[in-house]
Amino acid sequence: MAELPASDLPSMVHGALKVIDQVTAFVKAMNDLMERHEDLQLRYGRLEREHEEVRQQYQEACQRHEEVRQRHEEACQREEAARREAEETAESLAKLRLAHEALIVEHEVGRGAFQKLQAEQDANHEGEDTAEALAELRSAYEALIVEHEVSTRALHQLQEEHEALLEGRRQIMEELGTVMNLLRTSAGSVALGASAAG
C-alpha cells in the first residue's frame, strides 16, 4: 500500500474531524426530532382526550337542552289549560253571581209579600182561604231561603275554586319562568359546546 505524503495528513485529519462534526450534528438533530415526535404524540393524545371530553359535554348539554325544552312545552300546555279553566270558572262564577243576586231580589220580594199577607191575616182573620194562602206562601218562602243558602254555598265554593285556580296559574307561571331561565342557560352551554367541539 502506498504511503500518503505527510503534507496530506492535516487535510485528512481536518476532513475526518469535519465528518465527525457532521455525524454528531446529524445524531443530535435526530435525537431532537425524536424528542419533538414524542412530545407531539403526548400532545396529540392529550388533545384527543380533551376533544372526547368536550364532545361528551356537548352531548350532555344537548340532552339537557332537549329536556328543558320538553319541560317548557309541558309548562306552556299546563299554563294554557289553567288559563282556559280559570276563564271558564270566572264565567261560571259571574253567572252564579247573577243568579245569586236574582235570588236575593226574589227573596226580598217574597219576604215582603209574606209579611204583608201575614199582617193582613192578623188584622182581618179572613178565614181558611187566607190561612191556606199564607201557609203556601210560607212554604215557598222557606224553599226560597233554602235555595238561597244552597246558592250562597255554591257561590263560595266556586269562589274558592277560582282562587285555587289563580294560585295554580301563578305557580305555573313561576315554574315557566324557571324553565325559561334554564332554557337560556342550556342554550348558552350548547352554543359553547358546539364551538369547542368544532
Confidence at residue 38, expressed as pLDDT on a 0 to 100 scale: 92
The gap from C-alpha 58 to its chain's centroid, in whole angstroms, comes to: 21
Query: Long-range contact list for 4-11, CB < 8 A, 24+ apart?
Result: none
Q: What is the CATH number of the domain that holds 193?
A: 1.10.287
pLDDT in tens, 97-106: 887 788 778 7
- CB-based contact 179:71 (threshold 8 Å): yes
Is 176 a domain residue? yes
Which of the two residues, 175 and 34, has the higher pLDDT score? 34
Is 109 a domain residue? yes
DSSP string covering 171-188: HHHHHHHHHHHHHHHHHH
pLDDT in tens, 1-41: 445 555 577 788 788 888 888 989 899 989 999 999 999 99
Percent of the chain with pLDDT over 70: 79
**What's the total number of domains in the chain?**
1
The reported pTM is: 0.40
Which positions ≥6 away from 65 have C-beta within 8 Å? Answer: 183, 186, 187, 189, 190
Which of the two residues, 156 and 5, has the higher pLDDT score? 156
- CB-based contact 131:121 (threshold 8 Å): yes
- CB-based contact 158:92 (threshold 8 Å): yes
Is 33 a domain residue? no
pLDDT in tens, 115-128: 776 676 665 555 55
Q: 42 pLDDT exceeds 90?
A: yes
The gap from C-alpha 31 to its chain's centroid, in whole angstroms, comes to: 61
Is 35 a domain residue? no
Is 4 a domain residue? no
Q: Which domain holds residue 123?
A: 52-197
Which positions ≥6 away from 107 have C-beta within 8 Å? Answer: 144, 145, 148
Q: 73 pLDDT exceeds 80?
A: yes
| Residue 90 identity | A
